[in-house]
Amino acid sequence: MSRRNLFAVCITALSAGDHFLRAFNTEPGEELWKGRLPTAAPATPMTYRLNSNGKQYVVIAAGGHWSGLAKAADHLMAFALPDQKQEGK
């Protein structure tokens, strides 16, 4: 799967009270990736792509002590796939 088509193949990103953001292949429900968060994230992940380089990011707000799942903290976390190395370099 290429980096530029990550969310074009029915990937679902979600978080819960266990301090992880996860990406799933939506069709079979297979977990593809998980990343550690500094605290719980009772928020909906968002995705965006930069026009300058086409790199896609997934962003989530983590924290908010009001939720009961998180310690008092506020974070905005961004994740992206590593840059692909060009062949021959």
Assigned domain for 54 exists: yes
- In the block, tokens 């190395």 appear at 85
Assigned domain for 74 exists: yes
CATH number for position 63: 2.40.10
| pLDDT for the residue 68 | 60
The tally of domains found in the chain comes to 1
Assigned domain for 41 exists: yes
pLDDT band per the 50, 70, 90 thresholds, residue 26? confident
Structural domain boundaries enclosing 25 = 3-79
- Write the pLDDT tens digit of every residue in 63-84: 876 656 556 678 999 998 777 7
Assigned domain for 85 exists: no
Assigned domain for 65 exists: yes
Please state, for a pLDDT cut of 70, what percent of the chain lies above it: 72
